[in-house]
Structure 1
Amino acid sequence: METSKPHTKKKWFLPLVFSLLLSTFLIFVSVFLSSNSSSFFDPSPRPAIHEPPRFVESKLRVSPTSSTSVPSIAYLISGSVGDGLTLKRTLMALYHPRNHYVVHLDLEASEEERLELARFVRDHPLFAGLGNVRMVVKANLVTYRGPTMVTNTLHAAAILLREAPEWDWFINLSASDYPLLTQDDLLYTLSTVPRHLNFIEHTSDIGWKEYQRARPIIIDPGLYSVHKSDVFWVSQKRSVPTAYKLFTGSAWMMLSRPFIEYCLWGWDNLPRIVLMYYANFLSSPEGYFHTVICNAEEFRNTTVNHDLHFISWDNPPKQHPHFLTVDDYQRMVNSHAPFARKFGRNESVLDKIDSELLGRNADGFVPGGWFNQANPNITNPNYVVRNITDLRPGPGAERLKQLINGLLSAEDFKAKQCS
């Protein structure tokens, strides 16, 4: 028995060693082949694999402007108590099937007045058929001198971005504004204007506003109350911001779609930071958009220093402009501006503008390529859709062309951008 043990051990030892060597070899070969698989199996280089962005900000960029031959305008027309009929008139004077409209009567207006406007928008056959007029049914409380005017403007712009397919510029108006030319005049002239431009009157020379608006702190009850009241003042003062430069100007403007998207998306934090600051700023509509656009690298060179309005002010300007009358008519026309304010309700000069500048009948639309006074198909949306790019500009287009060409060709054009 003793002599057989070495022989038995020898029989299983050699196979074991062989199997271990074979396994080691196979493992080595598999590792080598996997690390060099591209060399053995695919001689062509593989494209680099780009990981998707980890943060949403990296996916957001300034949208390109549209390339359509005829632009489209997105309007906000806002009003308060007693403005229902005036707002309807302004809407009819501004209407064009190619444009988009948001109308808003603030929470101070009665429920009956807001319901009447909602019925008008809902039941009008053209508005219902084309779907380009929308009313803010859940009304906002808006304080004229407070930041709620800014939040209402941003709300309307958000609705237009979500629900309107395409538009090029956003214009904010009130029920006391009125056009001085037809929409055919406006669209025809703007068809030759670069669509990244922002028409916004602005200056960094805030002057007396530093001590009467920037340093004081106000609270707008419209931010938390359902009852309208004026802003109230806080005894504490604050210093002027150092993280960005303050700008001021007109509360009325024509802003490009890319800039509106920037204000709402805010892929950097500037629009939100500035909005929080202006929440306690008196007359914030005269500073918020101006400060954002002039502190944003993408947009500071897109400004045209004009608000496209004729407004009659005292010298120096007071809180409110003069109400315009027939005595101001020729100055309005000579200004070449497409809009004017401020008009009283049923002011007789509006009838003069309708008849001499717009060619509009009472309670009717302004004639244009899509509509003339004798057109029996005005209530047929299918007919209108076929004609919305047919523009018939008149004298108003020439006036506006002179204004815009003068602004863009001025020697100090660049110097007036965010200066």
Structure 2
Amino acid sequence: MMGHLSSPPSTSARGPVVRRVVKLLRRYRSAAAVTLLILVAQSVAVWRFGSVQELGHPQQPWGGRGGRRGRAQLPDADELLPRSHDYNALYLPNERFKSNIKENVKQLKNMSSLETKYSSWQNLGNEIAVKNEIEKKISRNALAANGIARKGNTSSKLWSQHHQKSLGSIHGMKASRFLQKDIKTHGGLTSNNIKAVMVGGNSLRQNRAKTKASTDESQAFPQPISATPCKIVEADALSAMSRAQSRQCKEELAAVVCLHQQGRLMPEELPRTCPLKEKKPGVSVQWLQEEAARAALPAERGRPAAAGEAATSSPVRVAFVLAVHGRASRQLLQMFRAIYHASHFYYIHVDKRSNYLYKQVLVLAQRYENVRVTSWRMSTIWGGASLLTMYLRAMSDLMAMDDWPWDFFINLSGSDYPIRSNNELVAFLTKYKDKNFLKSHGRETEKFIKKQGLNRVFHECDEHMWRVGERKMPAGIAIDGGSDWFAVTRQFVSYIIHSKSRLVSQLKQFYAFALLPAESFFHTLLVNSEHCATLVDNNLRMTNWNRKLGCKCQYKHIVDWCGCSPNDFKMHDLPRFQQLTRPTFFARKFEAVVSQGVLTSLDAALFGGPPPPSGPSLQAYWENAYDERTDSSASLGDAALTIYQGLFRLGLAQNAHQTPRSGSSLCSYEPVGHPTAAHIYFSADRFQGILVQQRASHSASRHEEVLETWAYPSNHYKVYNSTLLPRLQKMEVGTDWDPKERVFRNFGGLLGPWEQPVAVQHWVPGANVTVTVVWLDPAGVIAASYDAPVRGDLLVTLYRPPLRLPLRPGAWSVRLLVRWRPVAEVLFMVCPLAFLDGQPMTKEKAAYAHMGPPQNKYLEQSFQGLRRVLKLPVENTGQQEANEHALLTDKALWAWIENLISRFWVLADTCSVSESSVRLGCQSLPPCRQSVWSSHYPDPKSELGPVQLNGTIRH
């Protein structure tokens, strides 16, 4: 370890005290090394203690304070994350880690009485090496704790190779190898794709889009700059570079930091060209009920909707920019039906990671002349600079489309929905056609700057926003911001894209390295520009904010900051749409997987039509989870692939058994290949199960056709004594918990041996209580036990014990006790895998994946002393059977899988997609288009039709 110290200066240059210290240091070199190792061990201990946390949230070091028998004490759900205003605790592991690193470096300096010197990033070994050594030990220990780092384990070896490669990309790397390269910044994009970005995007159908090459296009984006080597001592930057995965990202971070330290990254002051004296100018607008009522009346196509509008004022035309991602294609289509009008224009950007949705949107664009899809795609992460870049590029494209004479730019997402008609929107915007509508934060500017992290430098790479340092706001301008949803005029968009002023160009540069830049860039530019008098403090939206639930730091895995997100509207929110007093035309957020009912009811109130629940599909919702045309089976995951195939096989078997004996062969099918599609199915805002579509071969004729099977999970929640704990409503176990909506995003609970499940308890208010939660694996091993204090005002508590992996497949149990008396129990399935890394399971792989954790220990502690208290057999008799199951392959493995799935799932029905089963004589297989549960059943609310005489596509 002492090899990391800088070489001492010459003896002649030292004083007697320094010579004495150096002599002692050389004499006790081994003691100094031991001291440093102790410091490193302390850092590891602190980190490991903080890493055993609920839901992987690093902000809370869970202690066992007050716990009995060595069990960890459970925090309540409201304490799982730091409060939304506690910005010093936003990334606590890094802060704690940086504190330890600084202390280690300080001790090194004290031991040697020498100053550690940094001449370039190459010489960061003193601090980076210590940091990476700690991270290496932490990761090794964490993997060992999860049962991965075991003898002969391929995963451990692969991880080790990856970690060594990561270390090599930081420690000992010459700065000249990358810092002298041009790091071209484009709103957070890397130098690899900057050239593609700088070229204006053409529309999907260039034969219809008379686009022109914009000579001023480069003004839309920050310009390339280069960095020279520097010494990096900023703790945030060191932390970010050590955590970044790719070499490219590490290089970009280093270049950004060096540019910032050299004062070349962003401007120190900017000119303000607003002629008004107010720092936040703005005008008020009125929208009287009488005007809204007149505008709501039907209007002829192309005629102003407002009865009182001047005859010479033509109605405005809107360019809607839709930024969409995910798989909710039917919800997107329903929203598109609601906002479509032939006089408007629709430019759609689909996230680069959403290939299934992109395919659906391409089909949509082919149907209508005024719909285009960006030919370029980006990964627009929450809070990232890429979102601002995407909007700037979309604006540049729209300005180049001469055949689209739009007046307003309005951005929407797939989770928005209109709450007033198109006629009302057009009438309002026509009345205020020279105004720009942006919502300000409404608080003190300094508080807003700190809350948004605008005083910090961020850089986006590896689909993550890295915090790398601090910065000052540019002098001379007013900083403003708020919502990143807006409606702005063509004149302002032209100014943003074509202006060559220093205010525009350097403000783009400033926000290229900002967190949540789209929430502040447009506001700040408008209030400081000559267009400042056009600002209206209203973004025409209604947003469903619930800070207590929406500010749970749920984006910490993609950004080094805590942020908030609005909640979904539900049925009980419907009265709020009828009580609006200010001009509001859109609302967010909506999610059909949470509540399709509110969308259906809002649509009926807005456009008329049959009130819900008229029609079998109006209250139903289908969302695609897998499609072989756009997704690989590897992306599906081994557990989901196994369960989908198991459900389909069971569906075929059930269909064959339901057929009369005289014609049993007529409905006998064998599965072929892998599933071709899968959907999650909802009805009346409740999860109804999974639909699996796959090819099957008819046993008699060998004819192949496509079938779809519907299965739903059975209830395995039992209450033993409700009088002991009347507050308890239910318990559930799953993965992908959403603390904002309080649902598991892994619908159906598809769990395999490599998952980390979470136990959730739902409560009603009442007295404070402490419960005991016990986890039992299929062999009867007590995997975990902990106490859970539940405050009287809590509605949800949850905890994810840090179990070593792999979990033993089979039926697991989570029991809840009060004073060691059983209250309730929930069973859940950990499915054996028929595939590992997409390949069929072998005996060697099965022993690795299905045997459970090393030495049967899921945690460091042993809970065998609780067997008598829980009235379990002292001798674990299920171990031998579990070991036998762990070695099964081929047909025996599938028999085990199907038997287990049948205990936790109910096979409801199967239908024929190709409808050839009837011709083959199998009457028990109805056509899917006639089965109300099928994804092929008609769904009018998301079906698109031709353009009507009134300009809409609604029948």
The aligned counterpart of 2:410 is 171
* Residues 1:356 and 2:605 are matched in the alignment: yes
What code does the residue aligned with 2:475 have?
Answer: T
* Residues 1:286 and 2:286 are matched in the alignment: no
Instruction: Report the Cα distance in structure 2 between the residues aligned to 1:247 and 1:295, rounded to whole angstroms.
Output: 9
Secondary structure in structure 2 of the residue aligned to 1:178: strand
Secondary structure in structure 2 of the residue aligned to 1:249: coil
Instruction: Report the Cα distance in structure 2 between the residues aligned to 1:150 and 1:87, rounded to whole angstroms.
Output: 22
Per-residue CA deviation, residues 108-137 of structure 1 (Å, 9 max, x unaligned), is 212x43122202221x2xx0xxx2111113
Indicate which of 578, 592, 610 corresponds to 1:345: 592
Change (3 A) 1:233 1:170: same
**Residues 169 and 257, structure 1, Cα contact 8 Å, conserved in 2:** yes
The aligned counterpart of 2:877 is none
Indicate which of 486, 501, 507 corresponds to 1:253: 486
Change (3 A) 1:161 1:359: farther
* Residues 1:121 and 2:403 are matched in the alignment: no
Q: Where in structure 2 are the equivalents of 1:10-409 lying within 5 Å?
A: 68-110=313-355, 112-122=356-366, 124=367, 127=368, 131-163=369-401, 164-191=403-430, 193-202=431-440, 205-212=444-451, 213-221=453-461, 229-234=463-468, 236-297=469-530, 299-314=531-546, 318=551, 319-336=564-581, 337-346=584-593, 347=595, 348-359=597-608, 362-363=941-942, 379=946, 384=949, 388=951
**Residues 202 and 249, structure 1, Cα contact 8 Å, conserved in 2:** yes
Tell me by how many angstroms 1:266 deviates.
1.6
What code does the residue aligned with 1:86 have?
Answer: Q
Tell me by how many angstroms 1:149 deviates.
0.9
Instruction: Report the Cα distance in structure 2 between the residues aligned to 1:137 and 1:83, rounded to whole angstroms.
Output: 21
Secondary structure in structure 2 of the residue aligned to 1:75: strand
Question: Which structure: greater strand fraction?
Answer: 2
Instruction: Report the Cα distance in structure 1 between the residues aligned to 2:329 and 2:376, rounded to whole angstroms.
Output: 16
**Residues 93 and 179, structure 1, Cα contact 8 Å, conserved in 2:** yes
Change (3 A) 1:83 1:155: farther
What code does the residue aligned with 1:185 have?
Answer: E
Per-residue CA deviation, residues 84-122 of structure 1 (Å, 9 max, x unaligned), is 333222222110000001111111212x43122202221
Tell me by how many angstroms 1:335 deviates.
2.1
Tell me by how many angstroms 1:178 deviates.
0.4
Instruction: Report the Cα distance in structure 2 between the residues aligned to 1:179 and 1:72, rounded to whole angstroms.
Output: 16
TM-score w.r.t. the length of structure 2 is: 0.29
Ranked by relative contact order (alpha carbons within 8 Å, sequence separation 6 or more), the top structure is 1
Per-residue CA deviation, residues 165-198 of structure 1 (Å, 9 max, x unaligned), is 311111011100100122122113333x131101
Per-residue CA deviation, residues 264-290 of structure 1 (Å, 9 max, x unaligned), is 112323222111111111111110000
Secondary structure in structure 2 of the residue aligned to 1:140: coil
**Residues 118 and 137, structure 1, Cα contact 8 Å, conserved in 2:** no
Instruction: Report the Cα distance in structure 1 between the residues aligned to 2:364 and 2:406, rounded to whole angstroms.
Output: 24
Secondary structure in structure 1 of the residue aligned to 2:533: coil
What code does the residue aligned with 1:119 have?
Answer: V
Query: Number of residue pairs matched?
Result: 293
The aligned counterpart of 1:50 is none
Secondary structure in structure 1 of the residue aligned to 2:579: helix
Instruction: Report the Cα distance in structure 2 between the residues aligned to 1:284 and 1:206, rounded to whole angstroms.
Output: 16
Per-residue CA deviation, residues 142-162 of structure 1 (Å, 9 max, x unaligned), is 122011111111222222222
Instruction: Report the Cα distance in structure 2 between the residues aligned to 1:152 and 1:89, rounded to whole angstroms.
Output: 24
Identity %: 24
In structure 1, list runs of 5 or more residues that go unmatched. Answer: 1-54, 57-66, 366-377, 391-419
The aligned counterpart of 1:413 is none
Per-residue CA deviation, residues 50-99 of structure 1 (Å, 9 max, x unaligned), is xxxxx99xxxxxxxxxx751111110111112243332222221100000
Change (3 A) 1:162 1:333: farther
Instruction: Report the Cα distance in structure 2 between the residues aligned to 1:142 and 1:166, rounded to whole angstroms.
Output: 28
Tell me by how many angstroms 1:325 deviates.
0.7
Tell me by how many angstroms 1:315 deviates.
5.3
What code does the residue aligned with 2:444 have?
Answer: D
Instruction: Report the Cα distance in structure 1 between the residues aligned to 2:393 and 2:336, rounded to whole angstroms.
Output: 19
Tell me by how many angstroms 1:344 deviates.
1.1
Instruction: Report the Cα distance in structure 2 between the residues aligned to 1:247 and 1:189, rounded to whole angstroms.
Output: 25
Tell which structure's C-alpha radius of gyration is larger: 1
**Residues 180 and 358, structure 1, Cα contact 8 Å, conserved in 2:** no
**Residues 333 and 943, structure 2, Cα contact 8 Å, conserved in 1:** no
Instruction: Report the Cα distance in structure 2 between the residues aligned to 1:152 and 1:141, rounded to whole angstroms.
Output: 9
Instruction: Report the Cα distance in structure 2 between the residues aligned to 1:81 and 1:153, rounded to whole angstroms.
Output: 19
Tell me by how many angstroms 1:219 deviates.
1.0
What code does the residue aligned with 1:107 have?
Answer: K
Q: Which stretch shifts more, 98-107 or 315-324?
A: 315-324
What code does the residue aligned with 2:500 have?
Answer: W
What code does the residue aligned with 2:457 have?
Answer: I
Instruction: Report the Cα distance in structure 1 between the residues aligned to 2:397 and 2:568, rounded to whole angstroms.
Output: 31
Instruction: Report the Cα distance in structure 2 between the residues aligned to 1:237 and 1:231, rounded to whole angstroms.
Output: 14
Instruction: Report the Cα distance in structure 1 between the residues aligned to 2:511 and 2:941, rounded to whole angstroms.
Output: 41
Secondary structure in structure 2 of the residue aligned to 1:86: helix
Change (3 A) 1:324 1:207: farther
TM-score w.r.t. the length of structure 1 is: 0.65
Per-residue CA deviation, residues 347-377 of structure 1 (Å, 9 max, x unaligned), is 2200001111123661357xxxxxxxxxxxx
What code does the residue aligned with 2:340 have?
Answer: Y
Secondary structure in structure 1 of the residue aligned to 2:409: strand
What code does the residue aligned with 2:541 have?
Answer: H
**Residues 247 and 290, structure 1, Cα contact 8 Å, conserved in 2:** yes
RMSD: 2.4
**Residues 218 and 231, structure 1, Cα contact 8 Å, conserved in 2:** yes
Instruction: Report the Cα distance in structure 1 between the residues aligned to 2:568 and 2:359, rounded to whole angstroms.
Output: 28
**Residues 181 and 358, structure 1, Cα contact 8 Å, conserved in 2:** no
Instruction: Report the Cα distance in structure 2 between the residues aligned to 1:89 and 1:78, rounded to whole angstroms.
Output: 15
**Residues 73 and 167, structure 1, Cα contact 8 Å, conserved in 2:** yes
Instruction: Report the Cα distance in structure 2 between the residues aligned to 1:220 and 1:121, rounded to whole angstroms.
Output: 31
What code does the residue aligned with 1:338 have?
Answer: F
**Residues 143 and 220, structure 1, Cα contact 8 Å, conserved in 2:** no
What code does the residue aligned with 2:504 have?
Answer: P
Tell me by how many angstroms 1:257 deviates.
0.8
Secondary structure in structure 2 of the residue aligned to 1:208: helix
The aligned counterpart of 1:3 is none
What code does the residue aligned with 2:589 have?
Answer: K
**Residues 541 and 588, structure 2, Cα contact 8 Å, conserved in 1:** yes
